[in-house]
Structure 1
Amino acid sequence: MSIERYTGLAQALHWLTAAALCFVLPFVWVAENFPPGPIRTFWYMAHESMGISVFLLILLRLTWRWRHRVPAYPAGTRRLMRLIAGLNHGLLYAVLLAMPVTGYLMAGNGQDVPFFRVISLPGFEKNEALGQLANTLHVWGQFAVYGLIILHVAATVWHVAVRRDGLLERMLPEQRH
């Protein structure tokens, strides 16, 4: 059975995004466990920098996807399943773009935002109401990210373990035998 795959660049961007997400969450959890000071500031900077990296990766992925068609689903994939997958992907893209924006609106509220201590993104005048709204959206957004990623991974596991239809292989390099 021949599997149509995503391009090598699309695969690389997908797995880089997954790796970045594995870092962005623990960095903030670590930061929250330190009292205010340089160690806490470092971990927040790492979290914010990874968030900006996720934003840039998603923009690259969307640009690439806009210019390249999605590979065909495995034979026998029902229309409803394709619709749910498309909805999940679309929501993931939207939330993964919104999270860094709300994070920037929190972090840049009255100060510049360092990006891996290499460059500093300009902040803006302090606005308490905007900061509170951004914080609320960011907190709720994290639960959307968790749910959508769990659904994405669970569906992939189901395709691998139950359907055995080669869906995961679309996002993996071709194996030479």
Structure 2
Amino acid sequence: MPATYTTASGLPRYNPLSQALHWLSALFIFAVLPLAWVAISLPNSELKGTMFVLHKSVGLTIFALVAVRIIWRMIRPAPADPQAPKALEVIARINHWLLYAIFLIMPVSGYLLSALSGRSTPYFWLFIVPGFEKNEALAKTFQAVHVFGQFAVYLLVALHIAGTVWHLVIRRDGLLERMLPVQDGRGGR
């Protein structure tokens, strides 16, 4: 039986692998956005190409991380928050699953946008994910999905952060501590 990790106040804590996957995902998500903004703003150059390779590679990494997170979450569901009203817990779970969905949709739509434009996708210069025969109409469809998805990412991440701030500042219920590594020297109990 796996150890049950708790916060200093006794709330159930996410297990260390869930925590690591969460913060690693956050790191890549906050990296992929500025890479896209910079790549789009640059004139055609080698640097622009490099920024797009990084953006696409980070996007594919996010896809893999989220897929692993979903599988892990099926194996180890999120711990319940005994202090949260049921409605808030439902809203939080819906937001989490929408975040998972958009972080799968964005890399897929970005890849298909590129692939259907007749381009292959280098993954950190390690290997190439091949493209498809050029199909301008489908490429435009996936471009629209990708652009719309960008705003969904902003909204869902903002809601996630706002919820965390609300728990931290207004409720002061220790919710953020559940997603942080043990700080007080205690392991699982």
Q: TM-score, normalised by structure 2?
A: 0.90
CA distance in 2: counterparts of 1:74 and 1:51, whole angstroms: 35
Matched, 1:88 2:99: no
Q: Which residue in 1 is equivalent to 2:171?
A: 163
Question: 1:79: how far off?
Answer: 1.1
1:124 is aligned, of 123, 132, 139, to 132
Question: 1:72: how far off?
Answer: 1.7
Q: Which residue in 1 is equivalent to 2:49?
A: 41
State the number of aligned residues: 176
Q: Deviations over 1:56-101 (max 9, x none)?
A: 11001001101012112142x1111011101101111101100000
Q: Which residue in 1 is equivalent to 2:150?
A: 142
Alignment partner of 2:95: what SS? Answer: helix
C-alpha RMSD of the superposition:
1.0
**Structure 1 runs of 4+ with >6 Å offset:** none
CA distance in 2: counterparts of 1:74 and 1:148, whole angstroms: 24
Q: Which residue in 1 is equivalent to 2:109?
A: 102
- Structure 1 residue identity aligned to 2:140: Q
Question: 1:106: how far off?
Answer: 1.1
Matched, 1:5 2:5: no
**Does the CA-based 8 Å contact 1:74-1:166 persist in structure 2?**
no
Q: Which residue in 2 is equivalent to 1:59?
A: 67
CA distance in 1: counterparts of 2:141 and 2:113, whole angstroms: 9
**Does the CA-based 8 Å contact 1:11-1:171 persist in structure 2?**
yes
CA distance in 1: counterparts of 2:167 and 2:180, whole angstroms: 14
**Does the CA-based 8 Å contact 1:111-1:123 persist in structure 2?**
yes
Matched, 1:27 2:8: no
Alignment partner of 1:114: what SS? Answer: strand
Alignment partner of 1:120: what SS? Answer: strand
Question: 1:33: how far off?
Answer: 2.0
**Does the CA-based 8 Å contact 1:21-1:54 persist in structure 2?**
yes
CA distance in 2: counterparts of 1:170 and 1:40, whole angstroms: 40
Alignment partner of 2:128: what SS? Answer: strand
Matched, 1:151 2:142: no
Q: TM-score, normalised by structure 1?
A: 0.96
CA distance in 2: counterparts of 1:69 and 1:114, whole angstroms: 34
